[in-house]
Structure 1
Amino acid sequence: MKFLKGMLLASASVGAQAELIINEFDADQPSSDTAEFVEIFDGGAGNTSLDGHVIVLYNGSDDASYDAIDLDGFSTNADGYFVLCSDSATVANCQLDTLSQLQNGPDAIALYQGSATSFGNDTAITSANLIDAVVYGTNDSDDAGLLIMLNAGQPQVNDATSTSAQRCVNGSGGALNTDTYTSAIPTPGAANACAGGGNGDGTTDLGSCGDAAQLISGIQGNITNITADTSPLVGQPVVVEALVTADFTKIDNDNQRYNGFWIQEEESDYDANDMTSEGIFVYSNDIAVSVGDLVRLKAQVDEFGQQTQLKTVSDSTVCSSGNSLPTQQNITLPVSDLLDFEAIEGMRVSYGQGLIVSDLFGSGYGFGNFGQFGVSSKLHFQPTEIAEPESIEAAAAAELRTRDFVLVDDGVSAKNPAFIPFPDASGFSALNPMRIGYTVPTVDGVMHGFNAFRIVVPTDITIVPSLPRTAEPEVAADANLVVVGMNVLNYFNGDGNGSGFREDLSGDAKSAFRGAETYDAFQMQEAKIVAAIQATDADIVGLMELENDGFDADSSVADLVEALNAGQPSEDHYRLVDPGTAKIGDDAIVVGLIYRADKVSLKGDAVVLDETNSPTDANGVLFNTDKNRPALIQSFDFQGNVLTVAVNHLKSKGSACGEPNEGADGQANCNIMRTRAAKGLAQFLATDPTASSSDSVMILGDLNAYSKEDPMDELEAAGYTNLKYTDKATEVQPYSFSFSGFLGSLDHALVKGSLLGNVVSVDAWHINSVEDTLMDYYTEANGHPFDSVDNYANADAYRSSDHDPIVVGLKFDDNSEPDPKPQPPKFGAFMPFMLLLMAGFAAVRRKR
């Protein structure tokens, strides 16, 4: 990535031979001299070969050499520095640790063209092929015999303990000149600190505005490993002078902002390296600053969450106010390399390409947790939703998302903020939601970071609700039967009588309980699910994640049916499918089926597929219900047309199953378990378990497999069609679930046989996957000042679960057997017959 600061310095010649100078050295420490070094600088050209160069050390006692070190095979680093030291464990950025102990002086260090063989012990001083030299002492008298190496009138440098001798401004003075050397905090392999120093005790003075100061680029350093590298000056005091670009100091205890502010170098002080940042965060609430102030401050360099910052500000002054800010760095996603983010850490940035909200949940962050959301150049889909596992395409999709993602933050560091200023200034609310798919035409701010996350703290942002909520799913106008698959996210109704929720329990029962914490939360959950089902106008609904507590009047499924039917006309009432068992399997959650009895009738008995009746192969049971939930299968008759619906909830991708190389192929845990279950399900359905004598079969459910994964391949190989990828689907790239910034389909509807010809529409209704969890029914109990049930959740369909429902519109011809022709009435019963006939004609058919 080519940044603006590089263009500002483009006038610098890149064709000239780089001049090498001795830029900094440290020959004296407070106790044992274990951190001695010599630094060579090429003026910032970077990567300059040192072949044919030699460092020679001269002793002032006899003005002759006592050591020489060849530099063949080495070069300056990308920033232009080369560090020779005695111990790389104690000297940052050391590239060659063969330096013998530097004597305290008076002595000299010289850089020659040549080789060490020309400078044996006690070699006399020579100016032949001399490039640069420095003569130094530790409060010693000048050594005239050594000073002849320097230009006339140049001084002997004093090297104090706890500081190094360094050219200030960095790289200044020129070869064989020493009059710009001063004492300051050692900065081997980085720009010289320069500010203050000279106290002889390692302290640093603030100095006056305009004095030499440590450049921020030298603090940030040239990072080559985004997760491992740190500032070369960590733990050291520095003096910087830079412009305040964003102020997020603390306002009060209830509005805990970032507790600091950002500063950035004036453009005239930028270095020549595009990959070193010119900005930094100052962690301090104790300084009154305003945007546009030029501040000079003394602070300590620190790393926090892989973010270089300044802390412990011990002195500061505002040099001037109302200054123009440095030009923003224009950033386009995706970046070419994650190091591109490091190069702009702490700097003013602008993302003007037009981005899209791609994540609200994340891992370690989140909209409700920290007021953060992710943006990308486009929506990203699970690699195995769009490409075969282990394919080049899948790997590319996963890698691209890492470079095409930044977080936008609310500027408040406190967890669980009471007010979230998105999507607009009025703030987030139940009626002003934030949804994945909203677009962000522009965002200006400063680039921040925490651990692996790249964060933009906005100073200006626009968010457009480009994927608005819809009141109902898309269903074809000519559909006369609607089948829905819906995950209801742990619908547990306690004891069925208003108690028995987690707050009422203790011990193991409390730990095992799922779903709503309280009866109030359950009422919100129920209202949301009822609203979602009613909005679909479904005739048959396959349910996942019901509490597995049977089918009696107090059961969860019976409770849901009762709530659905309340207030609806009788012709829209639902009934539950009861397989005639006390429970289905042993898992805490279970699948279920409900249907409108006035619209469809049951054809035969319900059948449960579990490991007791599963098909087998040489490796045993295919449909293993030790991990998968049992499937519920029922055939229905609609106007003489028979279809069989199988509802499923296969093993999740979470906990492991102990499979070989589990998760290594990108299909997460238990892929073999799910694939075998899919195979067993297809084989079982092929036996016509409900004796329906119909080839019209639909598999519904949360299969916990993305569309290109092995379980889906198994079902498609058995003749099933994934309806989301047909021309009847309402979107080209479907999805029903959001996870870690990727969208994908875990929830499916597949059909086989003649039923495919009856499909007229397929819609994944996006009421859940793109909504934030703050809208759901859960009572938040983690110490923040809001309660999602009271303040965010509405009794509506949005975020009624974490999975989107899939809504299938079907169209059938009426193949009902005609009623037998009425016989003439006997015994003068003509009038009652006519009254019944008129009543039949008066019945009003429900309109879709």
Structure 2
Amino acid sequence: MKLLKGMLLASASVGAQAELIINEFDADQPSSDTAEFVEIFDGGAGNTSLDGHVIVLYNGSDDASYDAIDLDGFLTNADGYFVLCSDSATVANCQLDTLSQLQNGPDAIALYQGSATSFGNDTAITSANLIDAVVYGTNDSDDAGLLIMLNAGQPQVNDTASTSAQRCVNGSGGALNTDTYTSAIPTPGAANACAGGGNGGGTTDLGSCGDAAQLISGIQGNITNITADTSPLVGQTVVVEALVTADFTKVDNDNPRYNGFWIQEEESDYDANDMTSEGIFVYSNDIAVSVGDLVRLKAQVDEFGQQTQLKTVSDSTVCSSGNSLPAQQNVTLPVSDLLDFEAIEGMRVSYSQGLIISDLFGSGYGFGNFGQFGVSSKLHFQPTEIAEPESVEAAAAAELRTRDFVLIDDGVSAKNPAFIPFPDASGFSALNPMRIGYTVPTVDGVMHGFNAFRIVVPTDITIVPSLPRTAEPEVAADANLVVVGMNVLNYFNGDGNGSGFGEDLSGPAKSTFRGAETYEAFQMQEAKIVAAIQATDADIVGLMELENDGFDADSSVADLVEALNSGQPAEDHYSLVDPGTAKIGDDAIVVGLIYRADKVSLKGDAVVLDETNSPTDANGVLFNTDKNRPALIQSFEFQGNVLTVAVNHLKSKGSACGEPNEGADGQANCNIMRTRAAKGLAQFLATDPTASGNDSVMILGDLNAYSKEDPMDELETAGYTNLKYTDKATEVQPYSYSFSGFLGSLDHALVKGSLLGNVVSVDAWHINSVEDTLMDYYTEANGHPFDSIDNYANADAYRSSDHDPIVVGLKFDDNSEPDPTPDPKPDPKPQPPKFGAFMPFMLLLMVGFAAVRRKR
């Protein structure tokens, strides 16, 4: 294909002040006029000041002005263009979007030296200080009253709905001359398209291979605003000639792929602008193509999912085959600006720096839905996990992640595909997982954009299991008591007898039900949670998201205890903490406590903190259980030592609480609600509610607050230590939850008093946050439309919940009091010795033996 460069007007003067002309305009578009613009050109000088210039619009109905726009403070761009438009979201390269309306004509556009104050509404035409003008209509008769602004004999220009009016060749004709205007594909802020010449042809005939054709760079446009990344030629029919670089046309109904292919200009046809892409996606299954083909095709420019593409291919031919492909564009994350992605949309790319899988939820569809996952140069943590809310550091952390993230996609467009080709050729399975933290040494593919930037890649990509699964959490070897906090993700056991699950319910009962839809799904959920708890070897377990259905034999917590104890030795059996109430609060879910009765014993009764016994302040109740789940508090005794455990599940960040400026500080919804609850909890625990007589207290649970947020600050101010940020933690930067490509800690263990000295380890066991949701207990009857989902759920600990369990190792000295020695009782009927002198020796020997037995 031959590159057709725009010709600059030879007579354009470049000096102290370049000559300015109106070079292109578009007053009429299909249906509503939403992409009107006027382009000024300085002959290519570039960066020409427009101070002291004004655009004046004249109405043909009375040949008087109806609008005037000052250009003070603006320059032409580096290539010499300035674009005034009605909407920068629909006009590429727009520098000033105050153009209220270009009437369809007959009307005129004029460029003057002067200011808008000199051209109020209904100002008559004047030639004083007139630099250039164009008179136009939309199939209208000539307006003689307007044409007096032009040089004698110059025509009225016709503007059509599907094209713009532009000087061809680019910049030609001279000021106040309109005879070089023609209709062509709009090119605001760039050299005119000029059908049959200029910077690419706008012809709608396919023509022959090698004829002039529209350059892809002209279709993609020079995008300067990532929120207005629309092609300047959208809706137009174009002819392009380029190389096929990737073929993802549909193979069959079971493997639809992306239903199209990518083409890219030959390198000799690249323009000189690094910000205009040279590649594009062709949405068509009707053309038989192969990678390396040089194809010529006629198609319509379209925008779909924020991606520029070609569709409705009406004619095509393969010019040649087996051609070498253009070199890949080398990309490094993070990019300096999101426009860097836009500039290579549709082009061959290579990332060779080594990337890390940072998200499995993709652009919202999920790894299992479309076979996509996110990669970055490093793992990213929630801004308020690592920095104070509203700080410069928090803002920087949030902004960086947007530039340090792309999606890798297998190119299959089917939801819930039966086979996912990652992490290797054997495919994704329960025993061959994909985890956040795995690494990708090199990525080669095509840059694609559909509501998110992603890379379409071959399926032979190499993925390294750099963060492998572990069989158990990391607990210090000298720990002799293990306390665990675990969110069990809506553990609802139906009626407790194999029925009463989601599929069996209707009405209000259905609307409040959570968890497994079927008994079979519940069995999988239970098996996974049991596997996780047993692997921790926990002695005390604080639970969140149990069904709030009491404590009898059919309750969820009793069901879980029974499942944990099944087949286990008696010394490992768990018991549940029963606060002596039918239920705890009115929420659908509740916290719970279980413990090994052979290892620890209850000291005193359990206490529930709710709004009825909460501390208060001037604004009322601190621990509001209208939003927060009530806390369950129990003291335990272990080898003569006492510790109190308070299990909590504070209000989520999801639904709003109606707080002032809610979420504006980066702490999401209901931050004030959680902060007040944390304050109330600390004050309540300070009263020793269980009458333990001891200051060793542990707050455990899903606090729905990241580590630098206000609720955590409140607890630390009250004297609690966040264990995951002490030298006993097993990782430098802890986390327990993944959300939107960020890791963070919503689940915490905090201690106060002498208990801190007993802590020897704290671990967030990463069995859930870094695993894909396909591994959890959901089956096809639980909303997934294909049977192979069952191949991913396995009766193991991995993805037993969406939060990681927090595992605390404690070491206590044995302060147990020895069993008291009973006082000897006198023989009520003394007997004379039967063995003579041997008797005293025998008595002494027996007393000694008894003493030895007591010591054992």
> Deviations 1:261-286 (Å, cap 9, x if unpaired)?
11112222222222221211111111
**Higher mean displacement: 327-336 or 51-60:** 51-60
Q: Deviations over 1:338-390 (max 9, x none)?
A: 22211111111111111111111256332122221111111111111111111
Q: Does 534-543 or 270-279 show the bigger shift? A: 270-279
Paired position in structure 1 for 2:305: 305
Post-superposition offset of 1:250: 1.3
Give me the whole-angstrom Cα distance separating, in 1, the residues matched to 2:809 and 2:481: 6
Change (3 A) 1:553 1:296: same
SS in 2 for 1:56: strand
Percent of residue pairs identical: 97
Contact 2:475 2:761 in 1 (8 A): yes
Q: Is the 8 A contact 1:86 1:101 kept in 2?
A: yes
3-state SS of 1:819 partner: coil
Q: Please list every run of 5 or more consecutive structure 1 residues that lacks an aligned counterpart in the other structure.
A: none
Whole-Å separation in 1 of the counterparts to 2:841 and 2:550: 44
1:5–1:274 CA contact under 8 A, matched in 2 = no
| CA distance 1:8–1:739, change in 2 (3 Å) | farther
- Which is further off, 757-766 or 610-619? 610-619
Distance 1:570 1:520, change over 3 A: same
**Conserved? CA contact 2:57–2:67, under 8 Å:** yes
Once the two structures are overlaid, the 10-residue window that deviates more, 569-578 or 798-807, is 569-578
Q: RMSD in angstroms over aligned alpha carbons?
A: 7.1
Structure 1 position 237, deviation (Å) = 1.1
Once the two structures are TM-superposed, the CA of residue 693 in structure 1 deviates from its matched residue by 1.3
Contact 1:184 1:196 in 2 (8 A): no
TM-score (norm 2): 0.82
Cα distance, 1:560 vs structure 2: 0.6
After TM superposition, the structure 1 stretch with the greater mean CA deviation from structure 2, 333-342 or 433-442, is 333-342
8 Å CA contact retained: 1:447, 1:457: no
Return the alpha-carbon distance in structure 2 between the equivalents of residues 313 and 799 of structure 1: 46
Distance 1:794-1:72 versus aligned 2 partners, 3 A rule = closer
State the Cα deviation string for residues 685-706 of structure 1 (Å, max 9, x = none). Answer: 1111112111111111111111
**Structure 1 residues 80, 576: closer, same or farther in 2, change over 3 A?**
same
Q: Any conservation in 2 of the 1:280–1:346 contact (CA below 8 Å)?
A: yes
Distance 1:584 1:41 in 2: 74
Q: State the distance in 2 between where 1:844 and 1:750 align.
A: 44
Aligned residue in 2 for 1:538:
538
Deviations 1:100-135 (A, max 9, x none): 999999999999999999999999999999999999
Are 1:334 and 1:404, in contact at CA under 8 Å, matched by a contact in 2?
Answer: yes
Task: Verify: 1:822 aligned to 2:830, yes or no.
Answer: yes
The structural deviation recorded for 1:170 is: 6.3
Q: Judge conservation of contact 1:386–1:707 (CA < 8 Å) in 2.
A: yes
Specify the SS of the correspondent of 1:160. coil
Do the aligned partners of residues 195 and 66 (structure 1) sit closer, same or farther apart at CA in structure 2, a change above 3 Å counting?
same
Give distance in 1, aligned partners of 2:434 and 2:776: 13
1:579 CA drift (Å)? 1.2
Structure 1, 284-293 or 446-455: larger mean CA deviation? 446-455
- CA spacing shift, 1:14–1:839, aligned 2, 3 Å: farther
Report the CA distance between 1:193 and its aligned residue. Answer: 3.7
Greater displacement, 339-348 / 741-750: 339-348
Structure-2 residue corresponding to 1:470: 470
Deviation at 1:243, TM superposition (A): 1.5
Instruction: Indicate the residue corresponding to 1:491 in structure 2.
Output: 491
Relative to structure 1, is the Cα distance of residues 178 and 627 closer, same or farther in structure 2, using a 3 angstrom cutoff? closer
Cα displacement string for residues 566-614 of structure 1 (whole angstroms, at most 9, x for unaligned residues): 1111111111111111111111111111111111111111111112222
Show the counterpart of 1:605: 605
Aligned partner of residue 435 in structure 2, secondary structure: coil
Q: 2:850 aligns with which of 830, 833, 842?
A: 842
CA contact (8 A) 2:543 2:593 kept: yes
Residues 1:686 and 1:191: Cα distance change in structure 2 (over 3 Å): same
Residues in 2 aligned to 1:335 and 1:4: alpha-carbon distance in whole angstroms: 32
In 2 relative to 1, CA 512–116 (structure 1 residues): closer, same or farther, beyond 3 Å?
Answer: closer
Contact 1:192 1:214 (C-alpha < 8 Å) held by counterparts = no
Residues 389-416 of structure 1 show CA distances to partners (whole Å, capped at 9, x for unaligned) of 1111111111111111111112122222
Q: CA deviation at 1:514?
A: 0.6
Q: 1:95 to 1:383 in 2, by over 3 A?
A: closer
Worse-matched range after superposition: 153-162 or 141-150: 141-150
Task: Report the CA distance shift for 1:690/1:147 in structure 2 as closer, same or farther (over 3 A).
Answer: closer
Q: CA deviation at 1:7?
A: 23
Q: Determine the C-alpha separation between the residues in 2 that align with 1:415 and 1:578.
A: 45
8 Å CA contact 1:418, 1:784 repeated in 2: no
Say if 1:271 and 1:33 are closer, same or farther in 2 by CA, change over 3 A: same
Structure 1 residues 416 and 29 mapped into 2: Cα distance closer, same or farther (>3 Å)?
A: closer
Contact 1:189 1:232 in 2 (8 A): no
Q: Is the 8 Å Cα contact of residues 441 and 463 (structure 1) preserved in structure 2? A: yes
Alpha-carbon offset, residue 228 of structure 1: 2.8
5+ residue gaps, structure 2, are 818-825
Question: How much does 1:545 deviate?
Answer: 0.7
Asked whether the 8 Å contact 1:4–1:329 carries over to 2, the reply is: no
Inter-partner Cα distance in structure 2 for 1:608 and 1:846: 41
Report the more deviating stretch, 736-745 or 660-669.
660-669
Query: Residues 637-672 of structure 1: CA distance to partner in whole angstroms, max 9, x if unpaired?
Result: 111111111111111111122222222211111111
CA displacement at 1:528 relative to structure 2: 0.1
Residues 263-310 of structure 1: per-residue CA shift (max 9 Å, x gap):
112222222222221211111111111112221111111111121111
The more displaced of 585-594 and 19-28 is 19-28
Q: Using a 3 Å threshold, how does the CA distance of structure 1 residues 30 and 236 change in structure 2: closer, same or farther?
A: closer
Shift in Å at residue 55 of structure 1? 11
* Distance (Å, rounded) in 2 between the aligned partners of 1:168 and 1:822: 134
Pair 1:152–1:737, CA change in 2 (3 A): same
Q: Deviations over 1:809-828 (max 9, x none)?
A: 11111111199999999999
Distance 1:813 1:307, change over 3 A: same
Relative distance call for 1:113 and 1:517 in structure 2 (3 A) is closer
Distance 1:647 1:154, change over 3 A: closer
Query: For residues 673 and 574 of structure 1, what CA distance do their matches in structure 2 show?
Result: 34
Moved more, 452-461 or 663-672: 452-461
Please report how far the alpha carbon of residue 47 of structure 1 lies from its aligned counterpart in structure 2 after TM superposition: 3.8
- CA displacement 1:670-692 (0-9 Å, x = unmatched): 11111111111111111111121
Distance 2:279 2:188 in 1: 21
**How far 1:167 moved relative to its partner?**
7.2
Higher mean alpha-carbon deviation, 286-295 vs 102-111, is at: 102-111
Provide closer, same or farther for how the CA distance between residues 507 and 308 of structure 1 changes in structure 2, counting only shifts above 3 A.
same
C-alpha displacement at 1:98, in angstroms? 13
Describe the shift of the 1:135–1:550 C-alpha distance in structure 2 as closer, same or farther (beyond 3 A). closer
8 Å contact from structure 2 (residues 193, 201) kept in 1: no
- Helix, strand or coil for the counterpart of 2:705? coil
Q: Distance in 1 between matches of 2:580 and 2:834?
A: 43
Please state how far the C-alpha of 1:841 moved relative to its aligned partner: 15
> For residues 354 and 853 of structure 2, what CA distance do their matches in structure 1 show?
49
**Equivalents in 1 of 2:531, 2:447: separation in Å?**
42
1:587-598 alignment runs, 5 A limit: 587-598=587-598
Seen in structure 2, the aligned counterparts of structure 1 residues 575 and 147 have a Cα distance that, compared at 3 Å, is: closer
Query: Do 1:492 and 1:514's aligned partners in 2 also have CA atoms closer than 8 Å?
Result: yes
Q: Secondary structure at 1:243's aligned position in 2? A: strand
Contact kept in structure 2, 1:359 and 1:740, CA below 8 Å: yes
Of 819-828 and 385-394, more deviation after overlay is shown by: 819-828
Distance 2:840 2:206 in 1: 107
CA pair 761-316 structure 1, distance change in 2 beyond 3 A: same
When residues 264 and 800 of structure 1 are mapped into structure 2, their CA distance, relative to the original with a 3 A threshold, is same
Shift of 1:162: 6.9
Structure-2 change in CA distance of 1:93 and 1:565 (3 Å): closer
Instruction: Summarize the Cα distance change of 1:669–1:840 in structure 2 as closer, same or farther, 3 Å threshold.
Output: farther
**Per-residue CA shift, 1:695-737, capped at 9, x if unaligned?**
1111111111111111111111111111000001000000001
The aligned residue for residue 28 of structure 1 is 28
Helix, strand or coil at the partner of 2:831 = coil
Task: Give, in whole Å, the separation in 2 of the partners of 1:724 and 1:825.
Answer: 70
Shift of 1:215: 1.4
- Give CA deviations for 1:145-197 in whole Å, capped at 9, x if unaligned: 99999999999999999766767786799999999998644545444444569
Closer/same/farther in 2, CA of residues 666 and 137 from structure 1, 3 Å limit: closer
Instruction: Out of 268-277 and 771-780, give the one that drifted further.
Output: 268-277
Please say if 1:284 is aligned against 2:279. no
Structure 1's 240 and 579: CA in aligned 2 closer, same or farther, altered over 3 A? same
Do the aligned residues in 2 keep the contact of 1:184 with 1:197 (CA within 8 Å)?
no
- The separation in 2 between residues aligned to 1:814 and 1:2, in whole angstroms, is 88
